[in-house]
Amino acid sequence: MTEPQKLSSSRSAGLSGDIIPPGDKSISHRSIMLGGLAEGTTTIRGLLEGEDVLHTVTALRSMGADIRKDERGVWHVTGVGPKGLDAPREVLDVGNSGTSARLLIGLCAGNPFTAHFTGDSSLRKRPMARIIEPLAKMGARFESPDGKLPLSITGALNPTPIVYTLPVPSAQVKSAILLAGLGAEGVTTVVEKIPTRDHSENMLRSFGATISIDRREDSEIISITGKPSLKAQNIAVPSDPSSAAFPLVAALLCPDSKITLRNIGINPRRAGLFGVLRLMGAKIVETNPRIEGGEPVADLMASTSELSGIDVPPERAPSMIDEYPILAVAAAFANGTTRMRGLGELRVKESDRLTLMAQGLSRCGIKVEIEGDDLLVHGTSRPPAGGATIETSMDHRIAMSFLVLGLQSQQMVTIDDGSFIATSFPGFAAMMNGLGAHMA
């Protein structure tokens, strides 16, 4: 256990500069996993070297992949190919990372060995029943007294291909089933009522798997044919829109600011926040749109903006599920009320984000309400009081959101522990300070 690292932020003006935020976390995890399975050596440029992804690296190494980083910062993953994964040599401790846990358990479900998973105290509270249920239907056996980590999984020798309708919109659950489906003879199908991020589908296809997607009015039916021969790829990871969101909102809030964020992933299944902020009046200009490594990317210019409160419908949630904490901060500075609807899933993220955001914002003098699964933030377009120490409950995004809030609060804002920021955004405070922010 590392010592908690208190961090504070205080009134800043005139953010300026040009930054490349760190690589996309979802794509980084999947690059390591699919590279680790494929035949040949996958190269990955721009991999997020956050703690979450490094846990995935350790897990794949432990199952037989050869993974190293060269002097230019490019990662080389030599996969196990047709011989398949080895039984992991040790307990797979995936730290704070829900994506590592759920996707790797899916991967193991299609392999006939036993693996033991654990994580930190935040991850050990998060629900795993949502993957246990479909993976058990495919033939995997679990030992997990309470549907949470730690758990043991014994994968199926001949996994049964299933047709499974997701009861919650979750890309992690979808991906776990698709990865288990790689080991099954025949076609495994996932039905999504509400579309979630599609990086697994895109990347599995580019590694050579046969994936078909049937888009219907009320659902999307994703099918994968098992036992493909996956081939190594060269991957360029775009910058994570979920990480870019923090400096971007900071630039909207701080006076006389103008920043450029380069190489940002703008996959429509991920970029919901930018659209919502624009509807609130944010000045965000997209330039140089292009496709890189199969993903749409662009450079974004953000400048100081006057924001107005809006109503964010529940259908928006999957395309910006990780961005509600920072949206709630933007809403605190807007003129009028922002109602964010349908946020039940926020209760089972790295922390109960719904409760923690409401608590922290109200400690900083902002009027907030939770009504059912909706969060209401009553903005006044004046700087909030701040002057509080915020409980972050091992949650990187809560930590970064409140540090952004402190940049325009009347009094300094302190977070109880900034160490978890390294799970997704190593060097966050330094990058922010490089733009002119005051964080220490």
216 C-beta neighbours (distance < 10 Å), count: 8
CB atoms under 10 Å from CB of 80, counted, come to 18
* Burial class, 50, CB count within 10 angstroms (exposed 0-12 / middle 13-18 / buried 19+): buried
User: 44: closest CA among 30, 56, 55?
Assistant: 30
- Catalytic annotation present for 322: yes
Q: How far is CA 250 from the centre of its chain?
A: 20
The residue from 12, 26, 100, 223 that contacts ligand S3P (CB under 6 A) is 26
CA–CA gap between residue 245 and residue 239 (Å, rounded): 11
Minimum CB separation from ligand S3P for residue 101, in Å?
10
**CA separation for the pair 199, 15 (Å, rounded):** 32
Query: DSSP letter string over 271-326?
Result: -HHHHHHHHTT-EEEEEEEEEETTEEEEEEEEE----B--EE-GGGGGGGGGGHHH
User: Between 183 and 202, how does the x/- string for binding to ligand S3P read (CB under 6 A)?
Assistant: --------------x-----
Verify binding: residue 166, ligand S3P, rule CB under 6 A: no
Of 271, 302, 270, 304, nearest to 287 by C-alpha is 302
Q: Which is nearer to ligand S3P, 170 or 267 (CB)?
A: 170
- 99 forms part of the interface with ligand S3P (CB under 6 A): yes
CB of 241 to ligand S3P, least distance (A): 12
Q: How many of the other CB atoms lie within 10 Å of CB of 40?
A: 13
Instruction: Tell me the number of residues near ligand S3P by CB under 6 A.
Output: 10
* Per-position x/- string for 310-329, each x denoting binding to ligand S3P as judged by CB under 6 A, each - no binding: -----------xx-------
Q: Candidates 1-9, 143-151, 166-174, 178-186 — which segment interacts with ligand S3P by CB under 6 A?
A: 166-174
Q: How far is the CB of 424 from ligand S3P (least distance, A)?
A: 8
Give the tokens for residue 303: 């400048």
Q: Is residue 63 within the footprint of ligand S3P (CB under 6 A)?
A: no
Q: Which is nearer to ligand S3P, 171 or 429 (by Cβ)? A: 171
- Of 31, 175, 393, 423, the residue at the interface with ligand S3P (CB under 6 A) is 175
Q: How far out from the chain centre does Cα 108 lie?
A: 21
The mark string for 332-371 relative to ligand S3P (x by CB under 6 A, - otherwise) is -------------x--------------------------
Q: How far is the CB of 172 from ligand S3P (least distance, A)?
A: 3
Q: To which H or E segment does residue 339 belong?
A: strand 335-340
Strand ranges across the sheet with 41-45: 66-69, 75-78, 41-45, 234-236
Name the helix (H) or strand (E) containing 131: helix 129-137
- Please tell me which residue in 24, 299, 322, 417 is annotated as part of the active site: 322
Helices 324-332 and 353-363 meet at what angle, rounded to 10?
20
Q: Is 171 in the site for ligand S3P (CB under 6 A)?
A: yes
Phi and psi, residue 161, nearest 5°: -70, 135
Alpha-carbon distance of 184 to 177, in angstroms, equals 11
Q: Are 138 and 167 in contact (CB under 8 A)?
A: no
Binding span for ligand S3P by CB under 6 A among 169-177, 186-194, 262-270, 399-407? 169-177
Which residues in 183-215 are b (16+ Cβ under 10 Å) and which e? bbeeebbbbbebbbbbbbbbbbbbbebebeeee
Identify which of residues 249 and 437 has a Cβ nearer to ligand S3P in the complex: 249
31 in contact with ligand S3P (CB under 6 A): no
For the bound state, the minimum distance from the C-beta of residue 298 to ligand S3P, rounded and expressed in Å, comes to: 21
Near ligand S3P by CB under 6 A, which window of 89-97, 171-179, 373-381, 414-422? 171-179
Q: Which is nearer to ligand S3P, 198 or 299 (CB)?
A: 198
> Least Å distance between CB 183 and ligand S3P?
20
Single residue of 56, 172, 392, 393 touching ligand S3P by CB under 6 A? 172
Binding mask 111-150 for ligand S3P (x = CB under 6 A): ----------------------------------------
* Cβ proximity to ligand S3P, 154 vs 196, nearer residue: 196
Q: CB of 99: closest distance to ligand S3P in angstroms?
A: 4
Q: How far is the CB of 130 from ligand S3P (least distance, A)?
A: 8
Stretch of residues binding ligand S3P (CB under 6 A), selected from 33-41, 82-90, 164-172, 263-271: 164-172
Residues 6+ apart with CB under 8 A from 162: 134, 137, 138, 177, 188, 189
Binding site for ligand S3P (CB under 6 A): 26, 99, 170-172, 175, 197, 321-322, 345
What residues act catalytically? 322
